[in-house]
Structure 1
Amino acid sequence: MSQPVLGILTLYLNDSGMLEEKPIYTRMILSGKKLGLDVFVFTPADVNYSTNRINAHIYDTESKSWSRRWRSFPHMIYDRCRIQKSHRFVQLRNFRQKYGHLTFLNRVLRNKWTVYRTMRKEVDFIPHLPMTQMYENSSDLTEMLRKYPLVYLKPINGTGGRGILRIEKQQDGYFLIQGRDQDRRIIRPQRASIAGVHGRLASWNLKDNRYIVQQGIQLKLPNGRVHDYRMLVQKNGIGEWEVTGCAGRIGASGSITSNLHGGGRAIKMQTLLTDWIKDEERADEVRLKAEELGVKIAAFLEESYGRLCELALDLAIDRKGQIWLLEVNPKPAREVFIQAGERETYKQAIIRPLEYALWLYEQKKRREKIAPAID
């Protein structure tokens, strides 16, 4: 019997052929071997469209070294490609168009604005969604600042805290602007009138760069640092959604985001939440409610956009215990759990997509026995 094969689809970070998550791929290949799953890594640039062969990245578990080898297409594809402004992303779009009929563990999720509008259609999610609108012109921002003392400006396709701005109304009527530029560099707080705010934002070209304006949630700790929670929801080995783990994140000094790449640090969720709410029993209730919400969100988005295998949800929890969904990330990293000291959760986060891939493979084989595969 042939061994099931999983291809991890990714993108080179640059033209020299650097892969972003090689240590994670190594762990997945090692774990896959123990499970009876053959795993290799490839990018759209490695595909020969004439022969339908792949010049794959192979990790030898005996010699502990990487090499290249021509392989046939895998039974399943695990898409780990993140958005890039490069020719490599054009290659990815071409690949998805040509090979979209293949079995993917996860389909493409839409941008922040589209996901928000989709989720607003489900009445149960509305209380958990900060008010958000597309930035079309300066009046959109002015209107949001009239309604809310704190707003965020976010690129609809941004990741890692890049290009996010925080604008907060002060008691004297002025506004405090701070954030991060496209290279994640911290923009120090600047005071301005409403006219000054629009003037300073003119160079950001918010409309052409496609930004959203989002209601802000007050999440500053007593030390002035912001915090939130990263929840990982994944399919398990029987194809069902489960919360693998959730960790707290505390932003760097002067940062408006908690992203680890921007200097933030991770902490156990229960520790941070209990300290924030000041009631351990209430913190337990909120955590369980957040987990229930996470599973519902994942199932709903899969129903809306097609097969998914994992999602990271960035959650804010205010002083009253109200849970807010800040963002959905379809290509989540796992390092937050290592940094929070949750090694078993980290291992589970790596293994679950592999277990799900094996389940999906078995389901497909059963269908093929009954009728020709349709996927």
Structure 2
Amino acid sequence: MPQPTLGIMALYLNGKRLEEIDYFRKLTIQGKKLELNVIVFTPEDLHPTKKAIAALQYDPLNKKWTRSWKPIPNLIYDRCRYQKNYRFPLLRKFRASYPQLTYLNRPIAHKWNVYQSLYKDRSIRAYLPETIQYHKASDLSPFLQKYPLVYLKPSDGTGGRGILCIRRLGNQLFLIQGRDLSRRIIPPRKMRADQIAASFQSWGFKDHYLIQQGISLALPDGRVHDYRLLIQKNGKGDWEVTGCAGRIGPLRSVTSNLHGGGKAMSMLKLLQSRFNSAEKVTEISKSMEQLSHLVAVHLEKHYGRLCELALDIAVSPTGQVWLLEVNPKPAREVFARIKEIDTYESAIRRPLEYALYLNEKNHSE
């Protein structure tokens, strides 16, 4: 059997810049160890008439990227993240034009559609904060009355952009803080319920938004925190939790994202600092892992083949586990930040091992 090739499909940002080029370099190096060729391309690199792509390939010896025409590989690892421009329709067109290729992962829907799908599963429903779509100011009122803490978040946002936290101070007084669409921290301000919607519009938040029950994430020093769990397919085609890490946001931030200035911490250390019970920590860890398997199996049944998912998880002061978000195109740098090098390398290697599993499966059928 000839050495297989994995095509990593991405989208350009500005010009010919690729957001995850360092990750792709590491995939190439790991691929050589596994006897798997790795090339990188975008739908824009497709030849107009030939079934070929102007692919990038990394040479570990010379430490250089070169571009050359390559046949379209049968194995595709989709790392395309949503963009509001002409590039995303090109991705859809590529997938529609080449349905016979073996894709490691399928696109999944926006946060609202994912929430609705997960909510239908009774075993998952108990982990989900109450969430609705935001259409008008009156949609927010019942949540402000019902919960002391409410979040507004874009249905297709990433990295903590555009998230607002609304905390009840009194009967009609609320504290508003968050991040704008460029991740800049919005200073806390107090306002009445009837002023919130106007402020929301004035900050330029025009996209589709969700209203979500807030979970208390504040640590004793006031910083918010959550947990990032990575579950991936292994070389046998089975779901397996690769690792989980804590994330702690900077002061005055309502999000813990690393891109927004957050720091990473060992999951166990963070849980142990909050719960003075080894049994409780073990119980919470098992609950997180169980949730990740339930979510992965459910979403794969609903959307088709997937190879990895990251779950953003909150743990309440009582130890209840909540699912905040699901990310189908996860980063894995959080494990490098906490010096869990074996976990970090596994997180890079597993998509490659899964690609080899699918390749062998294709040739045996």
Aligned residue number for residue 275 of structure 1? 273
User: What do residues 136-172 of structure 1 show as CA deviations (whole Å, max 9, x unaligned)?
Assistant: 1111111111111111111111000011111111135
Match of 2:323 among 318, 322, 325: 325
User: What do residues 299-355 of structure 1 show as CA deviations (whole Å, max 9, x unaligned)?
Assistant: 111011100000000000111111100000000001100111211100000000000
Matches within 5 A, 1:145-156: 145-156=144-155
Which stretches of structure 1, 4 residues or longer, exceed 6 Å deviation after superposition?
A: none
Match of 1:352 among 350, 353, 362: 350
Matches within 5 A, 1:109-128: 109-128=108-127
SS at match of 1:48: coil
* One-letter amino acid matched to 1:211: Y
Aligned residue number for residue 2 of structure 1? 2
% same residue: 52
Whether 1:202 and 2:197 are equivalent positions in the alignment is: no
Whether 1:18 and 2:17 are equivalent positions in the alignment is: yes
Q: CA deviation at 1:135?
A: 0.7
TM-score (norm 2): 0.98
* One-letter amino acid matched to 1:237: G
Q: What is the alpha-carbon distance in structure 2 between the residues aligned to residue 173 and residue 283 of structure 1?
A: 38
Whether 1:212 and 2:210 are equivalent positions in the alignment is: yes
Aligned residue number for residue 370 of structure 1? none
User: What do residues 156-194 of structure 1 show as CA deviations (whole Å, max 9, x unaligned)?
Assistant: 110000111111111353011111111000001010001
Q: CA RMSD in A?
A: 1.2
Matches within 5 A, 1:89-100: 89-100=88-99
Contact 2:123 2:294 in 1 (8 A): no
Aligned residue number for residue 262 of structure 1? 260
* One-letter amino acid matched to 1:12: Y
Matches within 5 A, 1:42-81: 42-81=41-80
Q: What is the alpha-carbon distance in structure 1 between the residues aligned to residue 333 and residue 161 of structure 2?
A: 19
User: What do residues 258-294 of structure 1 show as CA deviations (whole Å, max 9, x unaligned)?
Assistant: 0000000000000001111222221112102211211
Q: What is the alpha-carbon distance in structure 2 between the residues aligned to residue 54 and residue 306 of structure 1?
A: 26
Q: What is the alpha-carbon distance in structure 1 between the residues aligned to residue 99 and residue 166 of structure 2?
A: 41
* One-letter amino acid matched to 1:176: L
Aligned residue number for residue 337 of structure 1? 335
* One-letter amino acid matched to 2:12: Y
Aligned residue number for residue 158 of structure 1? 157
Match of 1:364 among 359, 362, 365: 362
Q: What is the alpha-carbon distance in structure 1 between the residues aligned to residue 99 and residue 112 of structure 2?
A: 24
Aligned residue number for residue 285 of structure 1? 283
Q: What is the alpha-carbon distance in structure 1 between the residues aligned to residue 92 and residue 207 of structure 2?
A: 20
User: What do residues 75-116 of structure 1 show as CA deviations (whole Å, max 9, x unaligned)?
Assistant: 210000111122222322222222233210000011100000
Q: What is the alpha-carbon distance in structure 1 between the residues aligned to residue 201 and residue 320 of structure 2?
A: 35
TM-score (norm 1): 0.95
SS at match of 2:356: helix
Total equivalences in the alignment: 365
Q: What is the alpha-carbon distance in structure 2 between the residues aligned to residue 135 and residue 216 of structure 1?
A: 15
Q: What is the alpha-carbon distance in structure 1 between the residues aligned to residue 96 and residue 141 of structure 2?
A: 40
SS at match of 1:218: coil
